[in-house]
Amino acid sequence: WDSIYAEYIMAAGYPHRSIVWQIAEDYSNCETLLRLPGYCPMPAFRDVTDVPLVVRGLRKSRSEVRKDLGIAESTKVVIFNFGGQPAGWKLKQEWLPDGWICLVCGASDSQEVPPNFIKLEKDTYTPDVMAASDCMLGKIGYGTASEALAYKLPFVFVRRDYFNEEPFLRNLLEHHQSSIEMIRRDFLAGHWKPYLLRALTLQPSYDGPTNGG
C-alpha cells in the first residue's frame, strides 16, 4: 500500500507523506511477503514467496443465478460494478445494446434504474453473478481483476486516477486477453454499446490456479 498510496499523497500534498513512510517501515518488519499475480513493486519486503490468485469460489451455477434473477439463458448480461459517479449522473436505457440486461452492484435504495437494468440486493454474492454474466463494466482492482480472470469474464474497464496498482493488474488482464478500456468520456456519456459488443469477441485465456488462499 505504500506504492499504491504514493501518487495520492503526491496529489494531496507532502504533509501526508509520513503515512507512506510508516507503511513502508511496518512492511520492513515482516518476515516474508506472499505475493499475488499482478503485483506492483514492493521493495520494502526482504523475502518474497509468489502464490496463485486468491479468488472466492462459486456457490451457484450460471443457470441457477439467472433463474433467480428471471433472466433467460440466451440474454446477454453485463454486470456493472462501479462507484463514484458524478452527482446527478443517471443510468439510461439506451446505453445498452438491444436485448441486453445490466446488473447493478451497490445501488442505493433510492436509486432509480431503467427497465433493462436490475439492482442487485446488498447481500448478493458477487462471484456467482459475475460467472453468470457475459462481461463486466467497472474499475480495475485486485478483487475485480482476479475474479474476472478466474471466471474468464471479459472486463470493460475505465481508468482510475492516482491508483498505482492499476497498470500491473491491467497488464495481467491484457496478457490473458481479458479486458478492453472504455474511455472515461464515453462511459459518462453512455456510449457503451461498441465496448460491450467488442467485449464479447474477447477470448479470456487464464487457466492458472486460483487457490492462493
Evaluate whether 153 touches 132 at the Cβ level (below 8 Å): no
Cα first-last separation, the chain: 20
Query: Percent of the chain at pLDDT above 70?
Result: 88
What pLDDT does residue 7 have? Answer: 63
The full set of domain ranges for the chain reads 2-50, 62-199
**What is the reported pLDDT for 61?**
97
What are the pLDDT digits (tens) for 9-38?
Answer: 666 666 667 777 777 778 778 888 899 999
Give the strands of the sheet with 135-138, arranged side by side.
117-119, 101-104, 77-81, 135-138, 155-157, 179-181
| Architecture of the structural domain at 62-199 | 3-Layer(aba) Sandwich (3.40)
Query: For residue 196, which phi and psi values (nearest 5 degrees)?
Result: -65, -40
Per-residue pLDDT reduced to its tens digit, 47-99: 899 999 999 999 999 999 999 999 999 999 999 998 666 667 899 999 999 99
- Average pLDDT, integer, range 118-122: 94
How does pLDDT run across 130-148, given as a tens digit for each residue?
Answer: 999 999 999 999 999 999 9
pLDDT at 110: 81
What local confidence, expressed as pLDDT, does residue 87 receive? 62
